[in-house]
Amino acid sequence: MFGKRIFMFVALVLGLTLSAPQAQAKQDILFGGASIVGVYYQVALQISSIMNNNMGDKYNYIGRPTGGSVFNINALERGAFDFGVAQSDRNWQAYNGAAEWEGRPIKSLRSLFSMHPETVMLVARKDTGIENVEDIKGKRVNIGNPGSGQRGNAMDVLRIYGIDPNNDFRAEGLQHHEAARALVDRNIDAFFYTIGNPSAAIEEPATSVDIRMVHINAPGIKEMVEEKPYYIMTTIPAGTYRGVDEDIETYAVTATVVSDEKVDEQVVYDMVKTVFENLDTLRASHASFRNLNVEEMLQGLSAPLHPGAERYYKEQGWM
C-alpha cells in the first residue's frame, strides 16, 4: 500500500517535471582583463556589456580583473576563462614556447582580434630626479606582478640598458593599482607599465603628484624592435598626461583578444560577430578604443585564428 503511494507520488513529480516548460539556461562566459585601473579590464567589461545587451538571452558575460597577459594566457589553457586580453608579444612567446613558456609552448592558444596599441612606459615621480632609464639605479621601482605583460617588457628594457634588477635597484612586483598608489604615497619612485593611452592608470597618479615620463629609445631598443614583428617604435604625444609636455619616444605592442581551441566555435562566432556589428559602441566606450578599425583589428595576431572568428571573417569577405 505504502509502496504504491510512493510510486504514484514519484510518477506525479516526474510527470510534472517533464511536462513543465524548461527555462533555457544561459551560458556563463568569463572574460579576463587585468588590473582594475587598466584598459584590459575595460575591454573585458565593455565587450561583456555589448554581449549581454545583444545576446543576453543566450549568454551571461562576466568581465573579471586578473593578473594580466601572462595570467590570462595560462588561465585560458586551464579552461578557467573563455576569453582574455593579452599583449601581442606575450601571445607570440606563449604560442612559440619563449620567455615564461620556454619548453612549454601553448599550442591551444587562439586569436580573435586586435584591440588598441599599448606603449611600454617608465613613469617616475618628478622629485626623484629620474630623467633616463639609467637613473633608476639605487631607486625603488615597480616592474610589474609576475602575471602581467609589462614585467617581461621591463626585463627587456633593463637588460638592454645593462641594469641588474637584483643588485642595481629595488624591484617591486606590484599589481598596477597598488603601484599607482605607491608612487603617490612615495613608497616607490617609478613604475613600468605597458598600457593603452590615455589611461586612468597614469592620469590618476599624474593628477596627485608631478610625474616624468622617460624615453625608452636606446639603440638596443630600436634593434629589438627591428627584429620582432610585434614591436614598433612610437611616441606618446606631449600633453597626453598632466606634466608631460614633450613627445616621449618608446616602443609599443598591441592588446589582443584571445581564446583557446577548447572554446566552442559558435560561442566565438557569436562574440566576434556581435563585437564587429557593434564596433561604434565599443569605440565610444573608452578613449583607448576610439581608433579601432576592422583592417587593423585583423592584423598582428600571432596565434592562429579561432575557427569561430575565421568563419565570421570569411563570411564578411575580410579574408
Minimum separation from the CB atom of position 220 to ligand GLU (A):
22
Minimum separation from the CB atom of position 61 to ligand GLU (A):
18
**Contact code string over 140-169 relative to ligand GLU, x by CB under 6 A:** --------xxx-------------------
Contact criterion met (CB below 8 Å) for 133 and 157: yes
Written as nine digits, the cell of 187 is 613608497
Cα 174 from chain centre: 16
3-state SS assignment for residue 126: helix
Judged by CB under 6 A, the number of residues near ligand GLU is: 15
- Is-cis flag, bond preceding 205, omega within 30? no
> Which residue lies nearer to ligand GLU by CB, 55 or 182?
182
Minimum separation from the CB atom of position 193 to ligand GLU (A):
7
Close Cβ partners of 29 (under 8 Å, ≥ 6 residues apart): 48, 51, 59, 60, 61, 62, 82, 83, 267, 271
Written as nine digits, the cell of 31 is 572574460
Contact criterion met (CB below 8 Å) for 247 and 240: no
**Contact code string over 278-297 relative to ligand GLU, x by CB under 6 A:** --------------------
Our finding on whether 34 is near ligand GLU (CB under 6 A) is yes
Our finding on whether 118 is near ligand GLU (CB under 6 A) is yes
Interaction with ligand GLU in 232-251: which residues (CB under 6 A)? none
Alpha helices, DSSP H, located in 20-139: 39-55, 69-78, 88-96
Written as nine digits, the cell of 140 is 625603488
Stretch in the footprint of ligand GLU (CB under 6 A) among 33-41, 220-228, 238-246, 269-277: 33-41
Phi-psi group of 44: left, alpha or beta (phi > 0 → left; psi -120 to 50 → alpha; rest → beta)? alpha
Provide the terminal-to-terminal Cα distance of the chain, rounded to the nearest Å.
Answer: 71
Find the residue with minimal CB distance to ligand GLU: 38
- 236 phi and psi angles, rounded to 5 deg: -95, 115
Our finding on whether 65 is near ligand GLU (CB under 6 A) is no
Minimum separation from the CB atom of position 206 to ligand GLU (A):
16
> Which residue lies nearer to ligand GLU by CB, 128 or 285?
285
Interaction with ligand GLU in 183-202: which residues (CB under 6 A)? 194-196
Identity of residue 125:
R
Contact criterion met (CB below 8 Å) for 154 and 144: yes
Minimum separation from the CB atom of position 89 to ligand GLU (A):
9
Identity of residue 75:
A
Angle at which helix 39-55 crosses helix 265-277, to 10 degrees, equals: 100
Which of 154, 236, 234 lies closest to 188, judged by CA?
154
Our finding on whether 63 is near ligand GLU (CB under 6 A) is no
Our finding on whether 38 is near ligand GLU (CB under 6 A) is yes
> Which helix (H) or strand (E) covers residue 251, if one does?
strand 248-260
> Which residue lies nearer to ligand GLU by CB, 63 or 196?
196
**Contact code string over 81-110 relative to ligand GLU, x by CB under 6 A:** ------x-----------------------
> Which residue lies nearer to ligand GLU by CB, 80 or 311?
80
Written as nine digits, the cell of 270 is 557569436
> Which residue lies nearer to ligand GLU by CB, 77 or 118?
118
Our finding on whether 117 is near ligand GLU (CB under 6 A) is no
Identify the residue among 31, 40, 59, 192 touching ligand GLU (CB under 6 A).
Answer: 40
- Chain positions contacting ligand GLU, by CB under 6 A: 34-35, 38-40, 68-69, 87, 118, 148-150, 194-196
